[in-house]
Structures are given as C-alpha cells and as structure tokens.
C-alpha cells in the first residue's frame, strides 16, 4: 500500500501549516491555518459565542467554482463538530483555513462537473495537520479514506483518479479518533449491504482494526503491517514535536 | 521527568492526578477537564488534550499542560507580560496591538506608575509599552485589557512595566518567548535550556551591556544604546542570535557556539 | 484586515538608522539578493521559488480555447495571482488588496505586454481554436518583494512548461496527451525579469530586494525590468521621492548584473531538472521496450 507523506509547519508566516502528498491520486496539497483572527469584512463572522470557520479550497490551475464551494461546505460541516470554537480568545474571531491543490493528474485541477470526492481524504488530512500545527483546540482528531467499488463488485481502497472515474460507486468515510463515523459521502449506485462492506474496509484502513462485528481473519492481516492512517497522523505529529523540542531532550 | 509523552487532541492524560487541599491540580494550556465523578471516592478526573504536543508536568505546583508547536498564535492569558504596540489613542484608552490582526487591546491612559491626567506618558501610534494582561473578558463583547501598573500598590510591578523607548523589537515564535520567560524566572543556572541572553549579556557586559524585555506575545525588545559606537551591530547580532536559536531549536551548547560565532562576524567580540 | 500591521516606531527608526551605515537586518549588502532557490514538481510547469523567506508556487496549464474574435491568429496567455490567507495572515480570502492589483499589473506589463510568450505560435486553427496558457501563482509565504519572486516563477514556468501536441485533421482538432506524443516547449521571444528597489533617506539610498519590514519602512519603490539581452523593458516608480536620472542609470546596470545572475540560476535549475527527467525516461523506455 503506498503511503502518504506529510510535513508539518513548513510555512513561517501562517500560524499553522502542513503539506501533504497523497500517493493514490498523486495530488499535493498545501494547507494553512490562521486563527483566531479578525475577519473585518465579514459581519456574519461575528458570532457572539463561538469562532467562525472559513475554509478556502483553491484549485492549482483554475478559478475556484461551484465544486470548490461544495467541498468547502463538507469540510466546514465536519470541522464544526470537532473544533472547540468557544475556548478563550475564539468567540467573535475567525479561523481561516486555506488549501491549495497542486500536482496530480490534470495538474490538480478537478474538471468542471467532476467530483471532488477522490481528493477529499487528502484535503481532510492536510487540514487536520495544519490545525494541529496552529494549536487550534479540538476535541479529537480524525482520519478519512476513499473506497471505490468496481464494476465486478470488488472493493478497492486508495483508488486513483482513474479508478474513481470507472467505479460503479465511490465512497469517502471519515472516522474520529474515538471511532465515530464523522462523514459518509457516496456517489453512484450501491445497496446497504455493500455500504456495510465499504464501511468495514474504510474503518480498517483508518483505524487499523475492524469494527466490533468484524471478521477475525481480515483484522489479522491489517495488524500484520501495523500501519493505518491514525498511526500515520500520530507518527507525523510525534516526529515534528521531537524535532521542535530537540533542545529539551539534549538537556535532560 | 518520565519519558516525554506526546498527546493528540482527544487523548486522555494517563497520570495519577490528585487534587490535594494544599496544592489543587492546575490544568494548564492545551488540556481540559472533561469529567469529574463526585460519587466515586476518591473523586476521579478525566483530563483530555485539546492541542497536539508534549505533556509537561510540574510536580511542585501540581500543574500539567501541553506544550504545542511553537509557531501558533498568541492568545492573551491573565498575568502574561506582553509587548504591545500603540495603534491609536482615545479619551480614556490607548488601543494597542498585542497579536496582529485581532481586535485591539485596551490600556487605560492612567494605567501607568504615578500617572495623573497631567503626568501621564504621551504615547504616539507605533510606540511600544511593556504591559501585563489584566483581564481577557468573559463571554462575548469584552476586550483584552492591559495595565502597566499594579492596581493594588500603584507601582510598576513587576519591574520594567511602562513605555519602551528606542531600541529595536524582534519577532520570535510564541513558544520561544515562553522559553525565554521560563529561563529568566528560574534562578538556578544550568536549570534552563535557553542561555542565549545570559551568554550575550556576559559577552557584551564590558561594552556597556544591553536592556531586554520579553513579551509572551512573541516579541523581544532590545536596547543597546548604552554602547554608542556599536549599538546597531550589537542589536542586529542579538536579533540574529535570537531568531536562529528559535528557528533551529538550538540546545545550550549550540547556543553558546552561535553567540561567539555571531559576535565574531559582527566584529564586536575579538 | 487587508494590510500588514504598521511597523513600530522602534523598528522603523532602527531600520532607517542602520541603513545610514549600510547595514541591513539580515546582514546583506545594499545591492544583494536574498538566497534564491528554484525547484520543480513532477509535472511540466510546476515551479517552486524561494527568495529568502518569500516563497511561492507557479503552476502552468494549457487548454484548447476559442481565440478572441479581434485577434483570430493569437493564442491567449493569462497570469492569475490571488493572494490568500496562506501567504500572510494580513490577506483576506476572496478580497482583492492593493498589493495584489499592483503586482498583477506590473507582471502583466512586464511579461504579457512585452510579448515574452509568442502568442501567435499558440494558434491551432484560425479563429476557431488556440491554446490558452495559464500561469497560476500561489503565494505560500510572504516576506517582501513579491514582484521579483513572481516574475522569476512565471518566467521559469514558461521555460519549463511543455504544451501537448495538437493536430488539425479534416477541420477537427485532436490533442495528443503527454504519454502519446512528446509535448512541445513554448516559444519565447525574450526573457524579461524584474529587479525591485526601495528608496530611503529622500532617495539617497536605493536598496535591492527589500524584505517585508524594509518595504514597510521605505519611502518609495522603483521596479526595473530587463531582458537577458540587456534591453530595458520597463521602469516603474509609483510612490516616493524622485530619484535622479544618474541613480536610475547606475541601478539599471546593477540590475542587469542581477538579471544575468538570476538567469543563470534559472538555467541551472532547468538543466538539472532536464537531466533528472532524461534519466527517468530512459528507465521508462527500457521497460516499455521490454513490454513490446
């Protein structure tokens, strides 16, 4: 399984930032987070009791359009449940998140009318890492993955853009670090049984073990590699913290 | 300290945390107290992280907090010492910038040592003050308020509060500013991990030394005007030492090397 | 807030005072650029430029479009620069700032209006279809001198980019993907680059490649655009005290040296990337030969 790579805090000016490479779609995403800051031009941004979330998805080689607005809505909805926008210093301010998609097929451009779902997990992971880097308070972390179902009924994890285009149905699922299902976006035709299989596959990819009802054999296979997306997020953060606090380790 | 544990938001702190009558448990930045079941004896807590970072424990004060990434934005906390920039002045207040691109913090026109309507310092936009955060407001609609005086005694306590005249201010990360503050508050030498200011002070002492003020909001003010002929070079050298220690996460040995190297390059210390 | 926080009096006075002694905060000389680093992504026309702490990404793309009706023989070249909150917390998403307008206009004049890219070669079929070449500039970290940094990025992108091959057959345009046919480099007439100066002390001191704080402390600016043949393409001065003609001449000759230096850096980066690609392609071709 090809593994994603990520860098935390590559940018100096932004409060928090992350760059992320998604191996299956080849896209490269740079994300930045600034917050809490004032959003002066936005009257609607002054919510008295919590922070306003502002997400911008910028395609690499085109003007942002309806597709970007749609995916921004998905991201905002998911984060609204995880960010603690009522902590001191956050009410009436904004948390501004910017994602730039570059690289990948078509130069990171999602063509007009095409779906954003294939790169949605990559966007979610970039955003999570940038938020952690900016020390925005969150109740928990999350991981996300895409699953394609081919015409032969095969369930395929980490689909490429081409897999996504030829898939009968396509799903993106996100799980919190406590195992809740946070997001389920699906396209195409499928039935509930198939979705259950997709759910199990996605759960294993994100969290490394099967949900409670799972079949023992599959869970063994996943454990053998010991790798899942959650451990990837944790490893990335740990590496950066060790690097940032290297002065402390030498002292001790 | 035990092996450093790194937390992600949502992780529980797996330490035996007790609140005793003499030293109540202090839950610091990056953590929140989720649940306290009063029925069980002794009462049990669940402390959960809300930032990603290194868990730091202080057994003496019975305090825990999470040290997060250094580059994040400063959020005003009561009793922090900050370097604020005057933006404009109104009848009762000076409106100050503590963190860029956030609403202005308020500093009373008379919140200075010995200030009356006639003797208050006249501050223009762009001037700097060293101030303490008095309140951060509760709920909606309140601003961060600063003071340059201890309201109880009328003195500039802790020392040095008030306008900062001349000099130069350098931007550092919020995490590094906190490190500098911690280094200056611990009395025992060798106990700290940032020795850069001490080291610079030693080397520049015979040239007239320099004045320094550290703001928790990621600003360091330096004034070398006492050593006239090399003031500019010395200030720039100090600024570069600070920035490099910050961005490269240097440990004390590397800091010492950096100081000698920079001063030699600036032709201040032979 | 669409503008940067103003400098404190202390910072302003110190920067100006130090410049009187020809000392800069980062220890550079008056006519010295910050370290320039150019790298490329996997695709053609994906350029990353770092000038000191200012960094940006340029992405080139090509699309078959209909030419403008008044210029049926010309292709279309657009430069799109949108300052987002990523580059600086001072920039608001979705709101145009003065800086953005200023930079876009200067780049337009220097690169587009000087016909650096020969748009006539982009024509596929008269009045029916042509290539629309687009350069997207994404500023990732802003620390002053956006114009020079973006100009370097776009000019490098134009030289690095490869346009897919398009053929007209029986009045129909067919485009071959990069895997099918070797894509074609763009046709450049000349390679202009800008060097930005800032003035201090009533125009007495003229400084090259100012950082963000130096820009804020400066009285005025001056942009000189030169191409690799040494021809001056443009000189702009928007604000600040007048600068004497002698100073402009003197700075132009210094700018010419810098343009040559930058050109060499770009060339070296392009060559390195080319040899990397050739090595990779040899590998790929060996494999595909085996397949056959």
pLDDT confidence band for B2 (50 / 70 / 90): very low
CB–CB contact B250 A139 (8 Å) = no
pLDDT confidence band for A222 (50 / 70 / 90): very low
DSSP state of C95: -
pLDDT higher than threshold 60 for residue A235: yes
At the fourth CATH level, the homologous superfamily of domain C9-279 is GHMP Kinase, N-terminal domain (3.30.230.70)
Report the distance separating Cα A42 and Cα C267, nearest Å: 45
The pLDDT of residue A216: 42
ipTM of the complex: 0.90
The pLDDT of residue A215: 46
The pLDDT of residue C30: 93
pLDDT higher than threshold 50 for residue A217: no
At A148, is the secondary structure helix, strand, or coil? strand
All structural domains of chain B, each given as residue ranges with its CATH number in brackets, are 6-68 (2.40.50), 81-164 (2.40.50.140), 168-265 (3.30.1370.10)
- Look over chain A and give the mean of its residue pLDDT values, rounded to a whole number: 85
Q: Cβ contacts of residue B76 below 8 Å, gap of 6+? A: A89, B82, B98, B99, B105, B133, B136, B144, B217
Which chains would you list as touching C if contact means 3+ CB atom pairs under 8 Å? A, B
DSSP state of C67: P
Write out chain A residues lying below 8 Å of C80, CB-based: 63
Per-residue model confidence as pLDDT tens digits over C28-61 = 999 999 999 999 988 899 999 999 999 999 999 9
CB–CB contact B8 A178 (8 Å) = no
Q: Are C74 and C130 in contact (CB under 8 A)?
A: yes
Report the distance separating Cα B182 and Cα A168, nearest Å: 59
Q: Where are the alpha helices (DSSP H) in chain A?
A: 66-80, 120-133, 161-166, 192-207, 216-225, 229-244, 246-251
B253 touches chain A (CB under 8 A): yes
Please identify every stretch of chain C with a pLDDT value under 70, giving residue numbers as ranges. 1-2, 285-292
Nearest CB to C89; choose among A13, A40, A62: A13
What residues 135-164 of chain A have any CB closer than 8 A to a CB of chain C? none
Q: What is the reported pTM?
A: 0.92
Alpha-carbon distances of B13 from A82, B2, B37, B210, B244, rounded to whole Å: 19, 14, 16, 43, 33
CB–CB contact A135 B69 (8 Å) = yes
More reliable by pLDDT, A122 or B25: A122
The pLDDT of residue A220: 40
The domain locations on chain C are 9-279
The pLDDT of residue B17: 67
What residues 87-126 of chain C have any CB closer than 8 A to a CB of chain B? 89-90
The pLDDT of residue C287: 65
One-letter-per-residue 3-state SS of chain B: CCCCCEECCCCECCCCCCCCCCCCCEECCCEEEEEEECCCCCCEEEEEECCCEEEEEECCCCEEEEECCCCCCCCCCCCCEEEEEEEEECCCEEEEECCCCCCCEEEECCCCCCCCCCCCCCCCCCCEEEEEEEECCCCCCCCCEEECCCCCCCCCCCCCCEEECCCEEEECCHHHHHHHHHHHHCCCCCCCCCCHHHHHHHHHHHHCCCEEEEECCCEEEEECCCCHHHHHHHHHHHHHHHHHHHHHCCCHHHHHHHHHHHHHHCCCCC
Residue of C48, C85, C153 to mutate when probing chain A, most A C-beta within 10 A = C85
What residues 91-150 of chain B have any CB closer than 8 A to a CB of chain A? 101-103, 136, 139-141
Q: Are A34 and B73 in contact (CB under 8 A)?
A: yes
Q: Cβ contacts of residue C124 below 8 Å, gap of 6+? A: C64, C130, C131, C166, C168, C173
In A, minimum Cα distance to C40 occurs at A103
More reliable by pLDDT, B216 or A102: B216
pLDDT confidence band for A1 (50 / 70 / 90): low
What residues 220-259 of chain B have any CB closer than 8 A to a CB of chain C? 221, 232-233, 235-236, 239-240
The pLDDT of residue A66: 86
The domain locations on chain A are 1-139, 140-217
Residue of B8, B70, B173 to mutate when probing chain A, most A C-beta within 10 A = B8
pLDDT higher than threshold 70 for residue B95: yes
What average pLDDT score do residues A206-227 get?
57
What average pLDDT score do residues B175-184 get?
88
Which CATH architecture group holds A1-139? 2-Layer Sandwich (3.30)
Per-residue model confidence as pLDDT tens digits over B203-218 = 888 888 899 999 999 9
pLDDT confidence band for A211 (50 / 70 / 90): low
CB–CB contact A135 B252 (8 Å) = no
Per-residue model confidence as pLDDT tens digits over A143-188 = 999 999 999 989 998 888 888 888 999 999 999 999 999 999 999 9
Per-residue model confidence as pLDDT tens digits over B246-262 = 999 888 889 999 999 99
pLDDT higher than threshold 90 for residue A110: no
pLDDT higher than threshold 70 for residue B187: no
Report the distance separating Cα C215 and Cα C54, nearest Å: 13
Residue of A13, A26, A94 to mutate when probing chain C, most C C-beta within 10 A = A13
pLDDT confidence band for A249 (50 / 70 / 90): low
Per-residue model confidence as pLDDT tens digits over A17-68 = 999 998 888 889 999 999 899 887 676 667 888 899 999 999 888 888 888 8
Nearest CB to C41; choose among A39, A62, A102: A102
């Amino acid at each position: 399984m090809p593994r994603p790579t990520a860098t935390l805090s590559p940018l100096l000016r932004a409060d928090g930032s992350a760059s992320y490479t998604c191996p299956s779609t080849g896209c490269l995403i740079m994300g930045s987070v600034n917050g809490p800051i004032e959003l002066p031009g936005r009257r609607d941004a002054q919510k008295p009791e919590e922070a306003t979330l502002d997400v911008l998805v910028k395609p690499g080689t085109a003007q942002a359009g309806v597709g970007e607005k749609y995916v921004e809505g998905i991201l905002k909805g998911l984060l609204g449940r995880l960010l603690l926008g009522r902590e001191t210093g956050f009410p009436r301010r904004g948390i501004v998140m910017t994602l730039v998609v570059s690289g990948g097929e078509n130069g990171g451009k999602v063509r007009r009318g095409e779906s954003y779902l294939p790169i949605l997990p990559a966007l979610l992971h970039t955003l999570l890492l940038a938020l952690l880097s900016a020390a925005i308070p969150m109740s928990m972390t999350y991981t996300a993955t895409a699953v394609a179902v081919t015409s032969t009924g095969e369930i395929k994890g980490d689909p490429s853009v081409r897999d996504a285009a030829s898939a009968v149905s396509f799903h993106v699922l996100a799980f919190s670090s406590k195992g809740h299902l946070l997001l389920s976006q699906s396209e195409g035709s499928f039935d509930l049984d198939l979705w259950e299989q997709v759910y199990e596959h996605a759960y294993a990819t994100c969290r490394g073990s099967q949900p409670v009802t799972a079949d023992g054999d599959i869970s063994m296979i996943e454990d053998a590699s010991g790798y899942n997306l959650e451990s990837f997020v944790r490893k990335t953060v740990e590496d950066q913290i060790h690097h940032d606090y290297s002065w402390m380790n030498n002292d001790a | 300290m035990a092996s450093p544990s790194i937390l992600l938001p949502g992780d529980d702190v797996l330490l035996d945390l007790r609140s005793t009558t003499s030293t109540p448990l202090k839950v610091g930045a990056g953590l929140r107290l989720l649940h306290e079941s009063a029925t069980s004896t002794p009462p049990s807590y669940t402390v959960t992280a809300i930032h990603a970072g290194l868990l730091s424990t202080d057994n003496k004060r019975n305090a825990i907090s999470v040290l997060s990434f250094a580059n994040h934005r400063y959020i005003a906390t009561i009793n922090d010492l900050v370097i604020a920039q005057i933006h404009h002045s109104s009848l009762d207040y000076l409106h100050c910038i503590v963190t860029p691109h956030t609403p202005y913090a308020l500093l009373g026109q008379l919140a200075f040592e010995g200030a009356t309507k006639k003797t208050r310092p006249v501050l223009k936009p762009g001037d700097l003050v060293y101030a303490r955060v008095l309140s951060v407001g509760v709920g909606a609609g309140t601003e961060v308020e600063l003071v340059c005086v201890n309201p109880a005694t009328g003195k500039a306590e802790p020392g040095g509060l008030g306008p900062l005249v001349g000099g130069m201010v350098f931007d550092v990360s919020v995490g590094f500013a906190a490190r500098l503050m911690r280094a200056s508050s611990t009395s025992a030498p060798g106990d700290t991990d940032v020795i850069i200011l001490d080291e610079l002070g030693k080397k520049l002492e015979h040239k007239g030394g320099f004045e320094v003020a550290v703001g928790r909001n990621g600003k360091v003010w330096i004034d070398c005007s006492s050593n006239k002929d090399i003031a500019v070079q010395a200030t720039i050298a100090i600024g570069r030492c600070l920035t490099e220690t910050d961005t490269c996460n240097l440990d004390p040995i590397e800091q010492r090397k950096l100081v000698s190297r920079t001063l030699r390059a600036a032709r201040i210390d032979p | 807030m669409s503008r940067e926080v103003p400098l404190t009096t202390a910072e302003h006075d110190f920067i100006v005072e130090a410049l009187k002694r020809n000392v800069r905060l980062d220890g550079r000389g008056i006519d010295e650029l910050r370290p320039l680093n150019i790298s490329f992504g996997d695709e053609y026309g994906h350029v990353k430029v770092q000038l000191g702490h200012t960094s940006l990404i340029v992405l080139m793309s090509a699309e078959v479009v209909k030419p403008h009706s008044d210029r049926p023989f010309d292709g279309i070249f657009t430069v799109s620069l949108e300052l987002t909150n990523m580059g600086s917390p001072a920039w608001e998403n979705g709101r145009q700032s003065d800086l953005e307008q200023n930079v876009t206009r200067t780049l337009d004049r220097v690169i587009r209006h000087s016909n650096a890219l020969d748009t006539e070669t982009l024509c596929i079929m008269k009045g029916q279809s042509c290539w629309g070449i687009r350069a997207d500039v994404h500023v990732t970290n802003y620390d002053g001198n956006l114009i020079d940094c973006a100009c370097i990025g776009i000019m490098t992108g134009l030289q690095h980019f490869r346009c897919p091959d398009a053929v007209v057959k029986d009045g129909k345009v067919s485009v071959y993907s990069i895997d099918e046919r070797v894509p074609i480099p763009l046709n450049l007439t000349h390679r202009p680059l800008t060097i930005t100066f800032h003035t201090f002390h009533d125009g007495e001191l003229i400084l090259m490649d100012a950082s963000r704080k130096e820009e804020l402390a400066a009285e005025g600016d001056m942009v000189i655009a030169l191409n690799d043949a040494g021809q001056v393409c443009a000189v702009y001065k928007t604000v600040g005290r007048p600068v004497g003609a002698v100073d402009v001449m003197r700075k132009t000759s210094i700018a010419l040296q810098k343009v040559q230096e930058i050109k060499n850096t770009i060339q070296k980066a392009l060559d390195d990337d080319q040899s990397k690609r050739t090595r990779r392609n040899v590998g790929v071709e060996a494999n595909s030969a085996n397949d056959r």
